[in-house]
A and B are shown apart, each in its own frame.
Chain A
Amino acid sequence: MVRFENVGMRYGTGPEVLRDITLRLDAGSFHFLTGPSGAGKTSLLRLIALAERPSRGLASLFGEDLSRVTRADLAPLRRKIGIVFQDFRLIPHLSAFDNVALPLRVAGVAEAKLRDNVREILEWVGLADKLDAKPPTLSGGQQQRVAIARAVVARPKLLVADEPTGNVDDAMALRLMRLFEELNKLGTTLIVATHNAALARQFNRSVLHLEDGELQAAAAAWAAS
C-alpha cells in the first residue's frame, strides 16, 4: 500500500526534514508513529497523505510510483486517504453534518446518496444528536470525533492520523483508539502519530520511531524483511 525507499523531503530550499526513510505499510496494517517533537512525524504523515512530494528516493502509494504521478492524478489518489489532523481543521461555518459530508461532495456523490452515509458515520462516533452543530459549539473531544468521521466517511483505504489524542483526555483517547481499531478491522490501513508511548504500547501494534528526521525502528524492520 505504502512503500518508501531512501526517501528524503525538504520544504522549499530548506534543509532535509526527513532523511533516508524506508518503510512499508501493508494493506490492512495498523502502525503507530512515535518520536519527540520536531522529529518529523507531521512531515512524514504529510508525505504519506500526498500533501508534499518527496525530494528524493522511491515512493509508491497504492502501487503508483509518485515520481510519475502528475498533479492532476493526485486527486483520485488522495480520495483513497483519510486524514485526521492534530488541530482537527474543521470548517467553522459548516455544521458537523456538512463538515463530514465534504469529502463525499468533493468526490461528486449525490446529496440523496450521501445523507444516510453521513448520518451513520456521525452516529458511529456518538454524535447523532449534533448533526447541525457548528464546530465552535462542540467540545474538543466532539470536534475530534467529527474530524474522524470526516476522515473515514469516504471509506478510505488508508487513514493518516496526526496526534488524534493530543487534545483529549485519557478516557476519550482510549475511545478514539477503539474507533480506529474498529476501522482497521474493516480493512483500513492506519498510521497514527502519537507521543503517547503508553497508549501505543497498550494497543500492541507496529511502532515506527522517528528521531531527527530518520526512521529508527522501521528502517531496521525493513532491512530485516
Chain B
Amino acid sequence: MSAPGPAIPFGRDGSSRFLPALTLLMVFLAGLALAAVMDLERALARWDQSLTGTLTVELPAATGATDKSLDAALAVLHDAPGIKSATAIDRDATAKLVEPWLGTALSPADLELPRLIDVRLDVSAHADLAALRAKLAAAAPGATLDDHQLWLDSFARFARSAEITAIAILVLIGGVAVMSVAFATRTGLAVHRDTIELLHLMGARDAYVARQFERQALRLALIGGVAGLVLAAAALLALSQAANAVSLLGDSVTLLPPLHLRGWNWAVLAVLPIVAGLVAMATARITVLATLRRLP
C-alpha cells in the first residue's frame, strides 16, 4: 500500500500550475534584485577602498604644464608628510587613456594633454590635503589636486539609490508573492469546499486542513523557486560574461561593471527558494485559518 497523499485533490485546481510559474518568476526577479544589491555593496566597498588613499595631481596643458612645473610639483609631494609615493604618468600612458575616445590618428605630441601625477597616501598618516593644495598651487601654478571625493560621493549616491530601488523591488516581489499565494489558497478553498466540509465533519480541526494547504504551497513554491533560481543564476552568469566581453583597452578596462558574486552571495541566492517556500507556507496557513474561522 502506497503512502497516503493529501486528502484534498489539489491536482484538480489551477493553483498547481499557477503557483510554481508565479514563484519561478518571483524568485527569478528576486534573485536578480538581490544579486544587484550584493554586487553594489561589494562595488562600493571596492571603490571606496581603492580610491581612499589615492590622489591625482593634474597640471592642465592650458596653463603651460612643463617638465619644470612637473618636477616642482613632484618635489612638493615628496616632501609632504603622509605621502607614500608620487609618480608622474608619462605622456604616452596619458594618451592611452583617451585613445578609446580619440582614436590613434593623433600622436601624444599633437594633443594638449595635461600632465598627471599618481599619488599614493599613507592612510594611517592623515595627510593635510588643504596645506598640500596650497603648496602645489605655489610651486606649480594651475595644479589641481583631485582626491576623487566628489566622484566617489556621486558614485556612492548612485549606488545607494540603486540599492534602495533593488530592496524596494524585493519588498514588492515579496508582497506580490504573499498576495498571489493568498489568492491561490482562497481559490483552492472554494474549489475544494466539499472535501473540506467532509474533513470537518470527520472531526478534522482547522489546523489539519491548513496543514494540507501548507504542504501543497511549500511543494509548489519549492518547485517554482528552484527553477527560478536556476534561471536567475544562468541570467547572472550570462550578464557577467556579457559585461566582461565589452572591454576597453584590451582586457584592462570594461565598459560595464563586472558582476562578481562571491561564494556567500551565491549561498544567499540559494536560500531564495526556501524563503519563497516558507513565505508560501505561512501565507497559506494564515489564509486557510482565517477563512475557516468563518465556517460553522
Chain A residues near B (Cβ < 8 Å) = 49-53, 71-72, 75-79, 81, 83, 89, 91-95, 97-98, 101-103, 105-107, 115, 131-132, 154
Contacts and interface: CB of A to CB of B under 8 A. Distances in A.
Given A51-B201, A83-B201, A93-B11, 5 more contacts: A79-B202, A89-B194, A93-B12, A106-B203, A154-B202
The winner among B1, B194, B197, B293 for most chain A CB atoms within 10 A is B1
Interface stretch (B2-10, B144-152, B160-168, B277-285): B2-10
Contacts of A154: 202
Contacts of B12: 93
B205 A72 contact: yes
Nearest to B192: A91
The winner among B194, B198, B203, B296 for most chain A CB atoms within 10 A is B203
B208 interface: yes
A51 B202 CA distance: 10
B203 A49 contact: no
A166 to B, nearest CB: 18
Given A93-B5, A93-B11, A102-B7, A75 B205 contact: yes
A50 B201 contact: yes
Contact of A103 (B1, B4, B5, B202): B202
B195 A91 contact: yes
A77 B194 CA distance: 20
Closest 10 CB pairs of A and B: A79-B203, A78-B203, A106-B204, A103-B202, A93-B9, A75-B205, A106-B202, A75-B203, A53-B296, A98-B4
Interface of B: 1, 4-5, 7, 9, 11-12, 194-195, 197-205, 208, 293, 296
B9 A51 contact: no
Contacts of B296: 51-53, 71
Contacts of B205: 72, 75
A94 B1 contact: no
Contacts of B208: 106
Given A91-B9, A91-B195, A93-B11, A71 B201 contact: no
B7 A107 contact: no
A92 B197 CA distance: 15
Contacts of A106: 199, 202-204, 208
Contacts of B7: 91, 94, 102, 105
A75 B200 CA distance: 7
B3 to A, nearest CB: 9
Contacts of B197: 51
Nearest to B205: A75
A224 B40 CA distance: 87
A74 B183 CA distance: 28
Contacts of A77: 203
Nearest to B10: A93
B9 A105 contact: no
12 contacts: A53-B296, A71-B293, A75-B200, A75-B203, A76-B203, A78-B201, A81-B201, A98-B4, A101-B4, A102-B202, A103-B202, A106-B199
A91 B208 CA distance: 17
The winner among B11, B200, B201 for most chain A CB atoms within 10 A is B201
Nearest to A46: B201
B204 A75 contact: yes
A132 B194 CA distance: 23
Nearest to B296: A53
The winner among A91, A97, A132 for most chain B CB atoms within 10 A is A91
Nearest to A160: B201
Contacts of A78: 200-203
